[in-house]
Structure 1
Amino acid sequence: MPNILLGDDDEELTQLLQEYLHNHGINCECVHDGEAVIRRLKATTNDAITYDLLVLDIMMPKMDGLSVLRQLPSISDIPVIMLTAKGEEIDRIIGLELGADDYITKPCNPRELLARINAVIKRTNAASSEHTPLPDSRLQLDQTQRICQIDGIELQVTGTEFDLLVALLRQKGEVVSKAWLSEHVLQRELQPFDRSLDVHVSRLRKKLQPFHDEPIKAIRGKGYQLVL
């Protein structure tokens, strides 16, 4: 049974989501402020419990979700789905830029949240067990330990960024459509005005630019091409 941590100050909502997720095979622990999220994640180093995913509300007392995301890299590499207010696109973009894997707007449909949770967990588990050989490249990806190196230097990348690199490297030199990347990396159909994929690629490009001026080309109207 997957085990997730849900951080949201709406206790009525978290109880509803907790019951719904449990009925669909997911164990969900709830906390209600950002500091509690940090404490629980830090405690996993001493506790027997581990979390497969963090669902994180942006607006929380004591420490907001974006502040949690800023601290997260030094604490855990856990995948994150953000909960954001409807219409707050800037929060979603900032969250993705800070390393969140996905987002869903509130008030959220429990069924949609379940689908997003399953998609992220499925992608993470599948990538962790992937052993398909990748083309020779300056870019070396250890798919078992999910380590990314270029010219022998390790890069800190999120889970989604790692999966993007695997997908692009397998088709290095070819233009890979946004629709294909969204379906195979984000595990959902590309939706109009959804900038998630673009933000993930932009973050990844910045991390690779010290090694190449234009490591990932954006081909207008077609998709992305890894040239590194």
Structure 2
Amino acid sequence: MCGSFNSFVFNHRTDEYDNCAENRARFAVEAVRAVLRQSSEISIAYKLTVRQEEPHYGNAGVVESELEIFVPMLVGAGVTSFHVTLANHSSLEDTIPPANHPYFKEQGCFLKFCDEVRQYTDKPITGVGGLTQPDFVEQQLASGRISCAAMSRQLLADPEWPNKVAAGQIKDIHRCVRCNKKCLGGLQQHQGTHCIYEKG
């Protein structure tokens, strides 16, 4: 809902919720404030979806040049952290890119959006995008580029990833190969979200 209001691709309103970036951010700002009115102690982790224009990927969310408007407004409303990723409401193969994606094929493929958001806030940022290799993830965390790493497909491939990393059992990790066969494929076929490594 917030992503649709934020996007001029979807938001064609002609009232106080459209016409400029400040107005398109209004719904998200009001939603955050409404939550905080019910519980001022709660932490607000906001999923900030970013739409890329050159080349074009994603339709909802915030275009990159508008981050300087949206991020401070959301922080001012009470957002305490951001989960940054490519905008949704587009092809799922773009927002959950396979290893052979024409543009987002590299590990950490969406972290560049975190870099852009970081210019406008010192709040914690969660990064995502084909994260699998412990050394790479550690580098991103140690550098402060991200505060948290989200890796849904990798944890489907090996739920013990954090424990194996902590124990130094790196070679024993089942690495996500980003094939999307059983995770995204299972989701699209209404068969549940699974992994090719699962037995049975």
Q: Same fold per TM (> 0.5)?
A: no
Pairwise TM-score range, normalised by the shorter structure: under 0.3
TM-score by length of 2: 0.27
Query: Which has more strand, going by share of residues?
Result: 1
